[in-house]
Amino acid sequence: MTYTFKPEPFEPPARRIDYDKELNPAQYEAVTTLEGPILVIAGAGSGKTRTLVYRLAYLVEQGVDPGAILLLTFTRKASREMLTRAVHLLNQALGQVVGGTFHGICYLWLRQYGERLGYPKGFTVMDRADQGDLLNLLKERLGFKKLSGPFPRKETIAEMLGAVVNKDLSLDFLLTRDYPQFLEQRDHLAKMAAAYQDEKRRHALLDYDDLLLEGRRLLIEHEDVRRHLSNRFRYLMVDEYQDTNRLQAELVQLLAYSHKNVMAVGDDSQSIYSFRGANFRNIMDFPNLFPGTRVIKLEENYRSTQPILDLANAIIAGARDRYTKCLFTRRADGRRPRLFRAATENEQSKLVVAQVQALQEEGTPLSRMAVLIRAGYHSFDLEIELVRNSIPFMKFGGFKFMESAHIKDLLAHLRVVANPKDTMSWNRLLLLVPGVGRATCNKFNAQVQSGFDLAAGITWLRQQSQKLQDLAGLMEILNGPGQTLMTRMNQTLAYYEPLAKARYDDYPKRMKDLEHLLNITARYQELQAFLNDLTLEPPSSLADVVTPTEDYLTLSTVHSAKGLEWDAVFVIWAAEGRFPGFYSQEGDDEMEEERRLMYVAATRARNYLAVIFPSIGYSRQFGMTVNSPSRFIADIPRDLLEPWRAEVEEW
């Protein structure tokens, strides 16, 4: 028996929302403009989500069938939140509105139309782990695990394949720019990429990137499907448009080809995810792709004080290519952002601790404060200082200091000098040696249990195979008379660097972390005191026991902080070579994104913003260095910042 269900005719709700009263003029214009392409440039804190929610409601109130609306976001959580808020606003269900991520929507289309592209209904979408397993299988099948030269690991190969697809790069260009250490493996990698594509086709497998790639192919090659979907979704709304990659921008064009009713919402000044494939040009070129685009700017900020916004406006004013806007607020009062010049990195850390404690005394809870960093390793010294002062924290983005494998690797060599019976550290440093396995570790552990000093351990290593002689030589140096802590660190780093290069595909970044550890080491004279500070109460311990309901300070990379806000924000290491990073100075596009990162950092603060940099730093290559303030701070009018010379003792 066959049943046919007919949907009830859609009836718009009675008008009840006073849009003119509940929205500012720019938001009102964005919400009530229904036809044609619209680009909403939503400045930081300008009510972007509110605008999208009210436009959903307005479309329905104007009689648009909810089933004709497609809301594209970058997380399912974002689309659920917007739809839920619209339901509450209208006081009616909006179950027919389709909302989700680009990948999720393409998945639904491929389930429905995949046979057009040769996929059976039962095709499988691989997650990252599945993808890695397949790449490992192919590496072994092709004999690449036995190659003498360095060959990328499965995670790195997956990143390469994703960059080729999402950034429309050739393998040759990608290897030359980002992975020069693997250039000699170019032919092998090309062969592996071809085998990977063939294996997916033969076994009806799709990876994460294929969802976008095949979704686009479906719309290009099958005009009837494109026409059907374009006619069905007469109103497209795209959130965070500045974060779209080339495939996502093309999908929007294909879907809107029959009506051009696209509202793209985003902020060019917050385009900071190029490493994920986001294309800054998408938002800048939107009016060219959609002639007749109406550009609406949301410039009224509901988050920060005007002095903070004045600084943010000045930072982004130096951008080479942007939509001109000027953030303003009705919160005209507030103190100017402060610029602190600390003498050293440790003084910078102590300054942050003192300021955090002072703000606590004024009534600001830790949960409303954040320290923002350009890179994960920039907070290592601060983490130690926070633990020393019993300030709980949570870190987002990057690794906590003691959780980084390469930090653990290096410290293991020093720990056995301090305690030759530390079998955990012995195991770690032994397993770093190529060709050494668990059997050797077990033999060594048996010797440790019998009781011996470091000299006996070195003798045992000397009596073993040739592969352990370099380690034995290092341990002799570390155990020698008159060795300072810094000398020991430098000797260990010199020994460890080739091991790290062979072990980690991103070893240059990890070596930067280790160089930063040297900066911390410089404050100590005694090995045991240094290890005690890192071991007895490791920086990660307090963070690990803090629950979301507890009061804790947030440490976050700027990338992880986007979309968030705090009463007080500290931007540390605002120095040339750190923020902007050293490598970003190699290209104009990279430097422009660094500027946008600083803008994002500044606009996270509601009431208090401090920008801090140490005058003296440490580089393994140059030793002690003199730091200059970040160009993004140095180039702005002096009256926008309140300069402070950090004297920690006075706090």
Please tell me which residue in 32, 49, 156, 491 is annotated as part of the active site: 49
Sequence-separated contacts (24+) of 25-33 with Cβ below 8 Å: 26/296, 26/297, 26/298, 26/299, 26/300, 27/51, 27/54, 27/298, 29/296, 30/55, 30/263, 30/265, 30/296, 30/298, 31/55, 31/58, 32/58, 33/294, 33/296
- For residue 150, give both structure tokens: 């360095």
Q: How far apart (Å, rounded) are the C-alpha atoms in residues 411 and 430?
A: 13
270 assigned to active site: yes
Q: How far apart (Å, rounded) are the C-alpha atoms in residues 398 and 560?
A: 9
449 assigned to active site: no
Q: How far apart (Å, rounded) are the C-alpha atoms in residues 218 and 102?
A: 14
Please tell me which residue in 27, 48, 297, 368 is annotated as part of the active site: 48
199 assigned to active site: no
512 assigned to active site: no
- Whether the CB-CB separation of 614 and 348 falls below 8 Å is answered with yes
Q: How far apart (Å, rounded) are the C-alpha atoms in residues 59 and 438?
A: 65
Q: How far apart (Å, rounded) are the C-alpha atoms in residues 472 and 258?
A: 72
Please tell me which residue in 27, 244, 270, 355 is annotated as part of the active site: 270
Give the contacts of 11 (CB within 8 A, at least 6 positions apart).
Answer: none
476 assigned to active site: no
Return the amino acid letter for 187. Answer: D
Return the amino acid letter for 280. Answer: F
Please tell me which residue in 239, 243, 576, 593 is annotated as part of the active site: 239
Please choose, from the candidates 515, 537, 516, 533, the residue with its C-alpha nearest in 3D space to the C-alpha of residue 524: 533
Please tell me which residue in 159, 207, 240, 347 is annotated as part of the active site: 240
- For residue 608, give both structure tokens: 């208090």
Please tell me which residue in 374, 488, 510, 604 is annotated as part of the active site: 604
48 assigned to active site: yes
Q: How far apart (Å, rounded) are the C-alpha atoms in residues 279 and 294?
A: 21
Residues composing the chain? 651
Tokens 């009263």 belong to residue: 21
Residues tagged active-site: 48-49, 239-240, 270, 604
